[in-house]
Structure 1
């Protein structure tokens, strides 16, 4: 999707030129993996260079998919061009002062945090959860409540709606209460793909600029414009983004979706999930449909056969289970007999060690 990303970043650059903001906030994930491909690095480099040339300050923090160390490389040099990356977390407050006609605005950078990272920095603190870790980090930030304070953070706030393409923690152990950030006049959040507000707009996920899973088909992507006036007054608005190619689902019989009348007024270059309602599978359906929809990504069927299979699957879904219970089911499926007590105790201990390392 490099072409799509260049296209949407050019669109965002045009919006920045028109809006002339005092700063651009990017709240991670910057990349989708710790070691990104070189093409992705070049796309980001071009985007940041264009903003630096326009003298627009940019603040970026790392997300859970990023390597904080790699993103921080060269950050001291880039700071001279007003491109400011969050450093690797070491407990020291990272904040920058900006000024306007209403006074000072402090920009605070808080990259994605795991409990183990914060526990290493503050060994005297009792940190057993993500909530403990983020609360501890915020407690040690230098916040002047008489000034306006803006926070960049990358965490999962309780109550946020996830999408299929996001990383999920078992049991929701990564959830952070919205009240954790209540001292800030505005909290710009990364991590969740869908745009959504908390605390009457004082906290917001702007969402991703592109759709990355079919669960996002119905979303309208945008950039968020935040205007801070006198302390306590914040105005938020959205500016919609139009992708080069949309991501959408199409439903109908093979004859319907392949007829010219059906697709002639649509962008057939879009990324498509096709749901066919034919009772019989279409031979070489994927290849045939790609002659019309070249970016067809998924082909599914919704008919009597698939609905019966779905009913069987759903009947087997039980209430949320522990990691050990899931592993026991997997073991029995693989070996055709249940685990022995000795095996169960070994796996239980191993899961406990893994969870300790994660925290």
Structure 2
């Protein structure tokens, strides 16, 4: 059984105001060719099909084109919703679509949906399709002691209908850690702060392969067969140095799955260029990459520059972001850090006095200071009383 593992398509996404639709279509065209050339049985999509719960019409049309291309080649599509998707919208027409080989699970109904496929060699693989779960919605229904992602995931997987004699693949959109170790993340994701509501990878030990979505940087988690495929494109400059790929997974009747990473070539790469204005616009630097790429330029000139953005756009028409790293910015950063450290030494009353002066351009009167001090004392007394009662 061969299948491609996709996730985090984010169709319709805009990056720094630039629409990614043409870039996404360029990447999906490659996926269609990969699927045909490798004669895969299925393509799985681990959530975040769209970037917004109400996607633009062009994004819906692009997804329609994509799964139609796959279905015309008799390639089964198995997809779940992510936290960016509207599960209810994705469920529209799912019964009819499943008859055409498009299995799209938008919402969880209490039981993990599954689809069993058999390849030419009669290797049977059961795909378990688990959409994005919101613990608070299921705590009462599942009679959970805690409304955490770990608890709701354990309860959901306990309701899986397990076909004996088949290999098992889980398709899920969630935040996974390995023994408390966090996955490598990027700036374009929405992830739990400090790993709260994470799911430990040990929960998936019974599965032959776990196709995960949610984290945009491709990576394995503990073992090769528990994997984030990563996003379709680079959606932030924190991903600039990390190429994108599509895992081609081969599962046989026994043994570990074979995983091959098929590289994706972007229509326009997303890159960072750093240096003085005269250097980054030089022919030597221009020839080092495609000038039509999406760029973040970090200028290091110390002297004042006249309209550097216009000078850069004349060479790099898809300039997304312009930043400076010079003596002035470094001084400003140091001063900001000093102000922050000084503010941490002030009492709440002193902080409010400082805020009042900045907002009004004058100091508080003696009467205002007296009233503020009285309010401060009352708040302290209230906190002490609450502490004693607790």
Q: Are the aligned partners of 1:185 and 1:231 in contact in 2 as well (CA < 8 Å)?
A: no
SS of the residue corresponding to residue 275 of structure 1 reads strand
Report 1 or 2 for greater relative contact order, CA contacts < 8 Å, sequence distance ≥ 6: 2
Q: CA deviation at 1:81?
A: 1.2
Looking at structure 1, the residues matched to 354 and 36 of structure 2 have their Cα atoms a distance apart, in angstroms, of 58
Query: Within the alignment, does 1:79 sit opposite 2:98 as a pair?
Result: yes
Query: Within the alignment, does 1:48 sit opposite 2:67 as a pair?
Result: yes
Over residues 294-332 of structure 1, what are the superposed CA-to-partner deviations in whole Å (9 max), with x where a residue is unaligned? 0001111111111223334456789xxxxxxxxx9x999
Looking at structure 1, the residues matched to 113 and 33 of structure 2 have their Cα atoms a distance apart, in angstroms, of 29
SS of the residue corresponding to residue 139 of structure 2 reads helix
Q: Equivalent residue for 1:129?
A: 148
Q: Are the aligned partners of 1:289 and 1:296 in contact in 2 as well (CA < 8 Å)?
A: yes
Q: Are the aligned partners of 2:175 and 2:191 in contact in 1 as well (CA < 8 Å)?
A: no
Distance 1:307 1:71, change over 3 A: same
Q: CA deviation at 1:126?
A: 1.8
Q: Equivalent residue for 2:301?
A: 278
Query: Within the alignment, does 1:266 sit opposite 2:289 as a pair?
Result: yes
Q: Equivalent residue for 1:221?
A: 244
Q: CA deviation at 1:138?
A: 1.1
Looking at structure 2, the residues matched to 317 and 142 of structure 1 have their Cα atoms a distance apart, in angstroms, of 55
Distance 1:127 1:200, change over 3 A: same
Aligned with residue 303 of structure 1, among 309, 313, 326: 326
Distance 1:281 1:130, change over 3 A: farther
Q: Are the aligned partners of 1:279 and 1:304 in contact in 2 as well (CA < 8 Å)?
A: yes
Looking at structure 2, the residues matched to 331 and 161 of structure 1 have their Cα atoms a distance apart, in angstroms, of 39
Distance 1:218 1:331, change over 3 A: farther
Query: Within the alignment, does 1:103 sit opposite 2:115 as a pair?
Result: no
Question: Where does 1:19-58 land on structure 2 (aligned, <5 Å)?
Answer: 19-58=38-77
Looking at structure 1, the residues matched to 133 and 210 of structure 2 have their Cα atoms a distance apart, in angstroms, of 16
Q: Which sections of structure 2, spanning at least 5 residues, go unmatched?
A: 1-19, 342-348, 358-371, 384-390
Looking at structure 2, the residues matched to 333 and 244 of structure 1 have their Cα atoms a distance apart, in angstroms, of 51
CA RMSD of aligned residues (A): 2.7
Q: Equivalent residue for 1:165?
A: 188
SS of the residue corresponding to residue 133 of structure 2 reads coil
Q: Equivalent residue for 2:84?
A: 65
Q: Equivalent residue for 1:175?
A: 198
Of residues 187-196 and 156-165 in structure 1, the stretch that sits farther from structure 2 once superposed is 156-165
Distance 1:316 1:201, change over 3 A: farther
Aligned with residue 114 of structure 1, among 116, 134, 145: 134
SS of the residue corresponding to residue 152 of structure 1 reads strand
What TM-score, normalized by structure 2, do the two folds share?
0.80
Looking at structure 2, the residues matched to 342 and 176 of structure 1 have their Cα atoms a distance apart, in angstroms, of 40
Looking at structure 1, the residues matched to 126 and 353 of structure 2 have their Cα atoms a distance apart, in angstroms, of 56
Larger Rg: 2
Aligned with residue 191 of structure 1, among 214, 230, 246: 214
Q: CA deviation at 1:87?
A: 4.0
Q: Are the aligned partners of 1:154 and 1:191 in contact in 2 as well (CA < 8 Å)?
A: yes
Q: CA deviation at 1:334?
A: 6.5
Aligned with residue 238 of structure 1, among 234, 243, 261: 261
Distance 1:13 1:317, change over 3 A: farther
Q: Are the aligned partners of 1:61 and 1:111 in contact in 2 as well (CA < 8 Å)?
A: yes
Looking at structure 2, the residues matched to 248 and 333 of structure 1 have their Cα atoms a distance apart, in angstroms, of 42
Distance 1:281 1:157, change over 3 A: farther
SS of the residue corresponding to residue 210 of structure 1 reads coil
Distance 1:332 1:58, change over 3 A: farther
